[in-house]
Structure 1
Amino acid sequence: MALSFEILGPVRVRHGEQTLRVPAGRPTALLVTLLLHAGVSVPVERLREELWGRRPPASAVANLRSHASGLRHLLDSPGHPARLPTEHGGYLLRVEPGELDAAEFERLATEGHAARIGGEPELAATLLGRALALWSPTDPPPAYGPATAAAFDRLRERRAGARETYAACRLDLGDPGTPALLALLRDHVGEHPLREPAWALLMTALHRAGDQAGAVRSYRAACRALDGELGVAPGPELTDLYREVRRHAPRSPVPQRRRVAPHTRDRPVDPRGPRVPHELPCPAAPFVGRRTELARLRDALAVARRQPVTVAVFGMAGTGKSALALRAAAEVLDAFPDGQLHLDLGGSVADCPPPPLQVATRVLRALHPGADEPAGLAEARARVRSLLFDRRVLLVLDNAADAAQVDDLLPVRGGCALLVTSRTPVTTGDAPSLRLDPLPAAEAMALLRATAGDRPVDEEPEAASAVVNLCERLPLALRTASRRLSEGPHWSLSRLARLLRDERYRLAETGLGPRLGASYRRLGSAAPIFLRLCRAHPGPVTAELTAALTGAPPEDAARALDRLVAAQLAEPAGPGRFHIGDLVRLYAVELAATEAGGTAPVRPGPARPGGSHGPAG
């Protein structure tokens, strides 16, 4: 049954010309939440919290099932696949391409921005105009829960970026400041009075229309808004535009910093000038779960609309910090039209991560390829800050080894954001940070399904559960181990589980060894205690037990455990108690055998097609 879902305004479900009645209140909230996560199973626990908050009534789950049943009755049609099946302990809403207005808006906005960057303003204006037309003049209903609210905040941010790009394209195409464009921009600055590019576009359109006094009034209104909310004056772009308006100077179609000149045969782009970098890589694997963490990162990065912000993600090896950061960066892409940088700082596996000067120089060259070599670290960082000043650039610095690599890169003003991933916290002060733990059991199983396929998991559920647990619900371990199944039909989840149960092979099959090595190198004088402890005791430990098992003085044992926690090789398990995971223990056992001059257990290299390491199934 062909349906259309509208959530960019009053919530409506249509079947052709007929509007289906969705009960108001929580049934509508449930529908909207599932639409915002279309195609993904949303756990019951998350839906319960989204609809009832952190203190739901005892009847919440029963009411949720009742609401879901009502939606099924409304959406399903005989002879068609179920729209709202139950999967993996949650509800999944199936939505076909073109049925959801929010998804269509994002598709058209993305294509429009791409056309603008590619030097096709007419096509961009058409696509962005269609995208903006999908929004109703009436705002969507208030969100029940934080995830839904964060999703609508992101959509509104994308709408703001789409409006500005659309207006810039219209001015590129010679719009003389038509009433329709002026009305759009006036409404836009009314909703977003702190967006300086919006004020610049409005001033340009007014100047084009011959309304110099209106352009001056707009500048003064921008000054009042920025000073009243942020205590700052307008940036140089807006100030220069104001001076040009006052001098009656002819104005270029749009503020220059937002324009990206296309590559043409007649006018090649100067490779030595400042540019707009787009360095975020395409994900190599599907992203599963982490909805709460994604929402937190999006909310933290949204602050960059008002001031520069640093956001940190840290956690033990293999938890998926890089994948999460890149996913979050992709979802806020349009909030940073002046560029997106991505650097791997080598802190996850490298013996010698790049020094701070090399990092700052790399950022400098990404922003200005023709820049001269800086004389030192201080100059490199200062030049980076100058290039970033009053611009909206996202820097994703992945796998930072220490704070020195990422310090002092952001300017005092502008819409820049620095998203850092690291094994241990590398930011201080008020910078928001997120500790990333292993996946919840349901999300880990969903990741195994995404990598191995539904059929193997459905045929061998016990083996699938064993693989998830032996990989300790770590995304890297699950992805690496499950590659075995792609080698051919002779591999099954049962055989993979047997291979992982064999401690001689488990560490290599999960691919964690090199990454745990980066954590081990942080231990310093605590390393010998770590190796002796892991060989002697597989369970939870205390400082007293550590001292007894390793022969270290009690104070040294306590400090060593603190170092293990800081290096993400152990985690607190209660007052005075610490837990060391089996994969970390296996790493220590193998390393101790090697360092003692013995022979480490024979183990395979990373899983790869064609290999046949490990015991037969």
Structure 2
Amino acid sequence: MTLAFRILGTPCVHRDGQPLRLPAGRPTSLLVTLLVHTNQAVPVGALVDELWGQKPPASAVPNLRSHICQLRTLLASSPSPETPRLSAGAGGYRLRVCPGELDAVEFDRLVSDGHSALARGELHAASAVLGQALSMWPTSTSGGPIGGPIVTAALDRLRQRRIGAAEAYFTCQLELWEGSSADLVARLRTHVAENPLRECAWAQLMTVLYRIGDIAGALDTFTTARRSLADDLGVQPSTELCDLHRAVLRRDPSLLHPRQRLAESPVRPRTWRARTAPVEGSTSTGPGTPPVPVPHELPHDVNAFVGRGAELDRLHDVLSTVGDRPVAVAVYGMPGTGKSALAMRAAAAVVDRFPDGQIYLDLGGSAADTPPLAPAEVPARLARSLAGPSAPAPSTLAEAHALVRSLLFGRRILLLLDNAAEAAQVADLLPVRGGSALLVTTRARLPTVEGLHLRLGPLAEADAVELLHHSAGRQRINGGPAAIVVDLCERLPLTVRAAGSRLAQRPHWSVARLATRLRDECHRLDELAIRPRLAASCRFLGDAGAAFRRLGLLRLGHVTPDIVAALLDTGPELAGTALDRLVEAQLVEPVGAGRFQMSRLLWLYAAELAADERQGARDAAVRRVLVTFATTAARAARLLRLPVSCDSTRWPDVRLGPQLASPDEAMKWLRGEQHNLIGLARQAAARHDDTARSAARLLQVVHRCLPRTSAG
């Protein structure tokens, strides 16, 4: 007997190819809840909450057992199967699912394989695998919700994977450009209709329409995309989409597929305005000399820009006083601080200082679903902007950099390179002489930028509240807890704007309701639309990514290398290296000697990532931290001659932690770690293994020592 479980679309189960009749209501919801926890035991309490919500009836548990019996009967291969599909144990129920039986697992595997093939450049293989994955979803679904918050979140994640898979499939089709495009146009139109806020998909549809000669259709698509973004989010299209729109308007041949460009195309080449003055140092200015391009590529900056007066003044001072030597400026900071908006506002203020042109290029460091520009692509694109379509094609990266420097030499041009992902993208671009300026935005400080490095942090509270007024409408905020909302947004311009947009598009919501929604940590990242930016920041962490994820397992006031060492089961040196990398990526912030802090939004994202690890690995990591703190606290208590007993030999695998050699060191450690001790003790008290005994000792030490540390 073989079973096949389907949860993509309407849930169903097939036995030997024949559909089974699922009981309506909660039994089906129970089945789907167990399926999204593939081969894992789900506690009874979690199942009750999922099926009946926060206020279950007194009969919830007996009813749950009844539903379990129904499912056992439904899934049994015989009256008394040797290996039951649905078993009880560990305080919950587990549904056994064999490989290949659950469509969601197979879909995930195919999507991962497709993305990997695309990353390797294997376009035909990627297209075939992604197409197979997408075919597993029905074209339409019927019925209402089938579960509570756990199932809803799991299905939402699968739908997001489907959206990413579809856009990766369309990327393959655009790169391959094989056969008829009618099916591709139809699928893209359906995709943007279902996901009107996906700018990547709008861009793909515009590109396809342009390639088939439907210029009007491509322009109309941009208008529709702009209207959707304005109506739903209150924002303008991204610079990438605006750049594509301008390229369509000027009939840019670079939008065509290479095979189309080889053939004779009716699309006119890009034209340029000639400079009124010759380039300093140029040797050919007579008749017949091609005109020198004067690009004006800066996008329109955001309308709702609040605060940042001191930062704007510093940027203005540097950019407006460029002499005969180029200057470079880098604006860096954690995701959501408004680096791009600040840079665009500053660039717009000094545009007249750079009469030879202004170039804008998004380097892709803030996108989670597409790779950033390779270092070799950056000078190539700059050269096209500086010299037009006839720019030579250098064969090496060094030649490309040399060409850009030659084109910038003696000219007053502003380069705004947004969202740099690595130092190599912006290295070796400025010439030895000329009035050009390089303005870079990035998450991490870039060592290749020799000039002003301006770190951007959260807004002041008054500025954050004012930005919320701009985004939501002042009449929407009057009398509401605006200060609470911006505090939950951590006063980041990106999240404050997202919160304001939520209020603007939901006139029936009060500010108090939004604040309540944001207080719920299950919804905060969704409401503030910052998850893609955080995912982009984590993409290049390497080995430090494990440290970031596992910090989401703990609720701590601050982090130390000893804590990270215990989480990773490694030494203090490697733990310190991981923390240094997190600091560089602006994911943790130093708050003292050997102490670091993570913002709440970052912690919530880290907790999401940690939830994807195996339960055993998570439990072991937390246990190492708990017992390490327990034994260190006991060691401090012995040095202070406190009557606390803790036999550290019971945990032979525990790491030593800090070596406390004197009462003064013990008192200093207890004072510094008192908030972490309390938090870890509470976390340990909720556990049901031997770490509960560690919690008891932690509580003893904390209660006995805190009065002395406070008095000291």
TM-score, normalised by the number of residues in structure 2? 0.48
AA matched with 2:624:
L
* Per-residue deviation, residues 290-348 of structure 1 (Å, max 9, x unmatched): xxxxx967972685468746999xxxxxxx98555689xxxxxxxxxxxxxxxx98873
Assess if the C-alpha contact under 8 Å between 2:646 and 2:697 holds in 1.
no
**Which of 194, 199, 212 in structure 2 is aligned with 1:196?**
199
Matches of 1:223 and 1:346 in 2, distance apart? Answer: 50
Residue in 1 that maps onto 2:322: none
Taking the aligned partners of 2:85 and 2:530, their CA distance within structure 1 comes to 38
Asked whether 1:427 is paired with 2:643, we answer no
Structure 2 counterparts to residues 432-447 of structure 1, below 5 A: 433=604
- 8 Å contact kept, 1:215–1:245: yes
Q: For residues 372 and 206 of structure 2, what CA distance do their matches in structure 1 show? A: 20
Specify whether residues 356 and 60 from structure 1 end up closer, same or farther in structure 2 by C-alpha distance, changes over 3 A only: closer
Give the Cα separation in 2 of the matches to 1:564 and 1:63. Answer: 45
Q: Indicate the SS of the match to 1:82.
A: coil
Structure 2 counterpart of 1:454:
none
Task: Give the equivalent residue in structure 1 for 2:384.
Answer: none
Q: Residues 115 and 345 from structure 1, CA distance in 2 versus in 1: closer, same or farther, beyond 3 angstroms?
A: farther
Task: Describe the SS at the equivalent of 1:92.
Answer: strand
Partner of 2:18: 18
Task: Say whether the 8 Å CA contact 2:677–2:698 is kept in structure 1.
Answer: no
CA distance in 2, matches of 1:82, 1:268: 63
Q: Distance in 2 between the 1:219 and 1:404 partners?
A: 49
- Larger relative contact order (CA 8 Å, sep ≥ 6): 1
1:457-468 counterparts in 2 under 5 A?
none
CA positional deviation for 1:193? 1.6
Q: Of the candidates 144, 148, 157, which is equivalent to residue 154 of structure 1? A: 157
Q: How far off its partner does 1:228 sit? A: 2.5
- Cα deviation, residue 179, structure 1: 2.1
Secondary structure (helix, strand or coil) at the match of 2:185 reads: helix
| Letter paired with 2:654 | T
Name 2:112's counterpart in structure 1: 110
Q: What secondary structure sits across from 1:85 in the alignment?
A: strand
Aligned residue identity for 1:402: P
Q: Is the contact between residue 168 and residue 253 of structure 1 (CA under 8 Å) also seen in structure 2?
A: no
Structure 2 vs 1, CA of residues 242 and 346 (structure 1 numbering), >3 Å: closer, same or farther? Answer: farther
Please name the residue that 2:186 is paired with: 183
Correspondence for 2:8: 8
Match for residue 279 of structure 1?
Answer: none
Show the counterpart of 2:329: none
Q: In the alignment, is the contact (CA less than 8 A) between 2:28 and 2:146 conserved in 1? A: no
Secondary structure in 2 matching 1:348: helix
Superposed counterparts of 1:502-517, under 5 Å: 503-506=647-650, 508-511=652-655, 513-514=656-657
Instruction: Give the 3 Å change call, closer, same or farther, for CA 229–404 of structure 1 in structure 2.
Output: farther
Match of 1:237 in 2: 240
Q: Distance in 1 between matches of 2:532 and 2:95?
A: 37
| Secondary structure of residue in 1 paired with 2:13 | strand
Whether 2:623 is the aligned partner of 1:475: answer: yes
Tell me how far 1:475 sits from its aligned partner: 3.5
- Within a 5 Å distance, the mapping from 1:330-479 to structure 2 comes to 348-349=564-565, 350=572, 362-363=584-585, 397=587, 400=588, 402=590, 426-427=598-599, 433=604, 474-476=622-624
Give, in whole Å, the separation in 1 of the partners of 2:53 and 2:239: 45
Can you give the 5+ residue segments of structure 2 that lack an aligned partner in the other structure? 259-361, 365-369, 375-394, 399-421, 428-519, 538-545, 554-559, 566-571, 629-644, 684-692, 706-712
Does structure 2 conserve the Cα–Cα contact (< 8 Å) formed by 1:150 and 1:298? no
Is the CA contact (8 Å cut-off) linking 1:423 and 1:568 kept in structure 2? no
The answer for the alignment partner of 1:41 in structure 2 is 41
Match of 1:219 among 219, 222, 227: 222
1:402 aligned counterpart, secondary structure: strand
Deviation at 1:435, TM superposition (A): 11
- Give unmatched runs, 5+ long, in structure 1: 276-294, 313-319, 328-343, 364-394, 406-421, 440-445, 452-467, 481-500, 532-559, 574-578, 592-617
Verify the 8 A CA contact 1:347 1:401 in the aligned structure 2. no
Does structure 2 conserve the Cα–Cα contact (< 8 Å) formed by 1:347 and 1:423? no
- Larger radius of gyration between Structure 1 and Structure 2: 2
* Distance of 2:199 and 2:551 partners within structure 1: 27
The Cα offsets for residues 120-146 of structure 1, whole Å up to 9 and x where unpaired, read as 011001000010000012237414311
Quote the offset at 1:181 in angstroms: 1.2
| 1:67 to 2:60 alignment | no
Matched, 1:300 2:525: yes
Distance 2:194 2:220 in 1: 17
> What displacement does 1:186 show?
1.3
Q: CA 1:184–1:80 in structure 2 vs 1: closer, same or farther (change >3 Å)? A: farther
Q: 1:162 to 1:345 in 2, by over 3 A?
A: farther
- 2:210 alignment partner AA: H
The secondary structure found in structure 1 opposite 2:86 is coil
Deviation at 1:426, TM superposition (A): 3.3
The CA deviation at 1:6 is: 1.1
Deviations 1:444-495 (A, max 9, x none): xx967x89xxxxxxxxxxxxxxxx9xx9x94336999xxxxxxxxxxxxxxx
2:108 is aligned with 1:81:
no
Q: Residue 95 of structure 2 aligns to a residue in which SS?
A: coil
**Which runs of structure 2 are paired with 1:531-610 in the superposition (5 Å)?**
564-565=674-675, 568=678, 581=695, 584=698
User: What residue is the counterpart of 2:134 in the other structure?
Assistant: 132
Render the CA deviation track for 1:227-281: whole Å, top value 9, x for unaligned. Answer: 233332222211111111112222155999646899xxxx999994489xxxxxx
More off after superposition, 233-242 vs 30-39: 233-242
Sort the Cα spacing of 1:229 and 1:134 in 2 relative to 1 into closer, same or farther, 3 A.
same
TM-score w.r.t. length of structure 1: 0.55
| Aligned residue number for residue 557 of structure 2 | none
**1:303–1:309: 8 Å Cα contact kept in structure 2?**
no
Say if 1:568 and 1:217 are closer, same or farther in 2 by CA, change over 3 A. Answer: farther
Residues 12 and 22 in structure 2, CA contact (< 8 A), matched pair in contact too: yes
Q: 2:58 matched to 1:58? A: yes
* Partner of residue 389, structure 1: none
Asked if 1:206 is matched to 2:209, the reply is yes
Distance, in Å, in 2 between the alignment partners of 1:142 and 1:31 is 14
Equivalent position amino acid for 1:300 in 2:
L
SS at match of 1:193: coil
Q: In the aligned structure 2, how far is the partner of 1:502 from the partner of 1:567?
A: 15
Aligned CA distance change for structure 1 residues 160 and 89 (closer, same or farther; 3 Å)? same
Amino acid at match of 2:103: D
Contact 1:403 1:427 in 2 (8 A): no
**In 2, Cα distance between equivalents of 1:348 and 1:125:** 41
- Per-residue deviation at 1:61? 0.7
Whether the 8 Å CA contact 2:205–2:221 is kept in 1: the answer is yes
Distance in 2 (alpha carbons) for counterparts of 1:355 and 1:30: 41
Q: Could you list the per-position Cα deviations for residues 8-60 of structure 1 after superposition, in whole angstroms to 9, with x for gaps in the alignment?
A: 11111111231101111101100111111110000111000000001000111
Aligned to 1:96: 98
Relative to structure 1, the CA distance from residue 65 to residue 274 in structure 2 (aligned partners, 3 Å threshold; closer, same or farther) is farther
CA distance in 1, matches of 2:94, 2:178: 45
1:412-441 CA-to-partner distances (Å, cap 9, x unmatched) read xxxxxxxxxx9985327x7775998xx9xx
3-state SS in 1 of match to 2:58: coil
Check the 8 A contact 2:626/2:680 in 1, yes or no.
Answer: no
**Structure 2 CA distance for partners of 1:6 and 1:478, relative to 1, 3 Å:** farther
